[in-house]
Amino acid sequence: MTPEKLVCLAAIAGVHGVRGQVTVKTFTEEPGSVAAYGPLQDEEGNSYRLRLKGRKKGMLIAEIEGVKDRNAAEVLKGKRLYVKRDALPQPEDSEEFYFADLIGLEARDNADRLLGHVSAVYNFGAGDLLEVRDETGGERLLPFTRDVVPEIDLDQGRVLVDPPPETEAGSGQEDEEKNAPKT
């Protein structure tokens, strides 16, 4: 049985005031829609119902049901808040998808060789990256661009990948060490 896919919609960034309100960083297209999907949950499965109260410096201010004071709100700082994938609307365009839909897809090259499975999607500030994990547990990060990932087929459960040479299996630290001059 596979666990239900969860999509991270927000994170509790801090505390606002003394009555238990929090500041929330949202990852939704429209920040205010974060509360429209019903209760959110954290990684442990705890449920949180948000009531939006305002905005502050690009974040939302929210009350969380059951949180009445600053001390209780402080404990929640850093919590990531998720919703079940099936609670989100289906993308309108066939070219649109949620990153959560990519997790678990086969990553195949142009010769239809299995490179591994998509295990995560990251963005460290310089663009999106796909993490592909092979059968041995080896991982590689690939730029998530149309050149490197020219095709996504959710129905077939795969992505076509044309990895740049520097991300090919076997390239990396161990190759650098092998080719380093001996002293």
The string of DSSP codes covering 17-77 is: TTTTEEEEEE-SSSGGGGGGGS-EE-TT--EE-EEEEEEETTEEEEEETT--SHHHHHHHT
Cβ pair 138, 154 in contact under 8 A: no
Tell the burial category of 12 from Cβ atoms under 10 Å away from its Cβ (0-12, 13-18, 19+).
Answer: buried
pLDDT in tens, 150-160: 999 999 999 99
For the chain, which domains are there? 6-86 (2.40.30.60), 99-171 (2.30.30.240)
Which DSSP category does 2 fall into?
P
pLDDT in tens, 83-106: 998 888 888 877 788 888 999 999
The pTM of the full predicted model, rounded to 2 decimals, is: 0.71
Q: Which of the four pLDDT bands, split at 50, 70 and 90, describes residue 70?
A: very high
